[in-house]
């Protein structure tokens, strides 16, 4: 039986563990944090993410917590609520927003008991494993490559009760500021506020700063903030990789998720790319000899994920722009252009790999 060690019990690491364990691998996951220590708020799962979850056998379990499709108007609008651009429902019909802690719980439940060891820091070589998967995040010590600050910071939160979104979701844009709203399955609202500023800028009261900047924006933003527990708000300076990696593979070590291609969250594809990584790695390791499978994983995943990372950074620059022409550009962008971009982002299926003759 082949053995794999997975460093990191985030979304990508757990999805990899599910896929390989169900295909007969001996799987050990090592997570430096304690059990039930997941923080964060909501994350978006698109059609590509669900197809990748289906490929490892976890799609139905995740759909059970993701809820039905939403019929809200979504896109970008001004801080006064006037729409600049809207997205056709058909393009995001599979999109669901889930709470990160709920997704983590469901994925963990899909594994055999004892698969994950919590409170385990991996600070040296792991012997006795055929493959080591480094799914250890943005600041991966396995990777070691520098990260860069995007120029903006983010506050994220979830309301403690349902809030009526008044028919609209998506992002509202100011000058160097934006505020996002997304419904969770139980009616609560996941929100985020993004502001361009130097990294590490301190505030005596983080939530008071959020209210100062955004409470006067269009409804129901003030109500969403009123329904939020300030102690549960997360502040994160947004980073991505300083430069694309030349390879996702180092011998028998494979980089996955943010460790391989950390990107800004501006396309909502970070978790989806990690899940795609996991499904692809599961597929190639189940089909090819290990050395060939690792090489195939790198060849398949690196071009797509690095292209998405570039697009995410460009989108972030556009949405954070202080130039009033930004709004004009959004209004005048043909819907066909948006359709092509969203379709391309969500085009994923399990790779077709076969043993060489």
Domains of the chain: 3-148+239-345 (3.50.50.60)
Banded pLDDT at 356 (limits 50, 70, 90): low
Say what the pLDDT of residue 314 is. 98
Q: Is 207 a residue whose pLDDT tops 90?
A: yes
Token pair 């120029």 is found at 151
* Per-residue model confidence as pLDDT tens digits over 101-128: 999 999 999 999 999 999 988 887 788 9
* Residue 134: C-alpha distances to residues 9, 14, 45, 57, 257 (Å): 10, 12, 22, 22, 9
Banded pLDDT at 279 (limits 50, 70, 90): very high
Both tokens assigned to 244 = 């694309």
Banded pLDDT at 41 (limits 50, 70, 90): confident
Q: Is the peptide bond before 184 cis (omega within 30 degrees of 0)?
A: no
Q: Is 254 a residue whose pLDDT tops 90?
A: yes
Read out DSSP for 232-277? Answer: G-EEEEEEEESS--S-SEETTEEE-THHHH---GGGS-HHHHHHHH
Burial class (CB in 10 A: 0-12, 13-18, 19+), 313: buried
Give the list of residues 6+ apart from residue 226 with CB closer than 8 angstroms, or none: none
Q: Is 70 a residue whose pLDDT tops 90?
A: no
* Per-residue model confidence as pLDDT tens digits over 133-153: 999 999 999 998 899 999 999
Work out the average pLDDT over 33-55.
88
The pTM is what?
0.96
Give the list of residues 6+ apart from residue 205 with CB closer than 8 angstroms, or none: none
Say what the pLDDT of residue 39 is. 66
Q: Using CA atoms, how far apart are residues 65 and 325, in angstroms rounded to an integer? A: 40
């Amino acid at each position: 039986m082949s053995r794999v060690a997975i460093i990191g019990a985030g979304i990508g690491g757990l999805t990899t563990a599910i896929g390989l364990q169900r295909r007969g691998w001996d799987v050990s996951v090592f997570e430096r944090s304690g059990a039930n220590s997941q923080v964060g708020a909501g994350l978006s799962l698109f059609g590509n993410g669900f197809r990748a979850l289906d490929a490892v056998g976890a799609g139905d379990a995740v759909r059970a917590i993701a809820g039905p499709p939403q019929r809200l108007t979504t896109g970008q609008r001004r801080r006064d609520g006037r729409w600049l651009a809207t997205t056709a429902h058909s393009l995001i019909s599979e999109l669901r927003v889930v709470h990160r802690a709920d997704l983590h719980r469901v994925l963990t439940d899909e594994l055999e008991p004892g698969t994950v060891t919590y409170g385990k820091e991996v600070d040296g070589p792991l012997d006795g494993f055929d493959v080591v998967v480094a799914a250890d995040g943005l600041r991966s010590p396995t990777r070691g490559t520098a990260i860069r600050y995007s120029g903006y910071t983010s506050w994220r939160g979830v309301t403690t009760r349902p809030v009526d979104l008044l028919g609209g979701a998506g992002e509202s844009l100011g000058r160097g500021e934006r505020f996002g709203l997304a419904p969770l399955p139980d009616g609560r609202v996941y929100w985020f506020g993004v502001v361009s500023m130097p990294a590490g800028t301190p505030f005596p009261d983080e939530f008071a700063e959020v209210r100062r900047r955004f409470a006067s924006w269009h409804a129901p933003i003030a109500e969403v903030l009123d329904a939020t527990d300030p102690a549960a708000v997360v502040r994160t300076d947004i980073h991505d990789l300083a430069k694309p990696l030349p390879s996702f593979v180092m011998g028998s070590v494979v980089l996955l998720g943010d460790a391989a291609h950390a990107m800004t969250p501006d396309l909502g594809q970070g978790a989806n790319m990690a899940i795609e990584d996991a499904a692809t790695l599961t597929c190639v390791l189940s089909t090819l000899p290990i050395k060939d499978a690792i090489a195939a994983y790198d060849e398949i995943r690196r071009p797509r994920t690095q292209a998405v990372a570039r697009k995410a950074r460009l989108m972030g620059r556009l949405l954070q722009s202080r130039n009033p022409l930004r709004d004009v550009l959004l209004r005048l962008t043909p819907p066909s252009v948006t359709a092509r971009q969203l379709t391309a982002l969500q085009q994923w299926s399990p790779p077709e790999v076969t043993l060489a003759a």
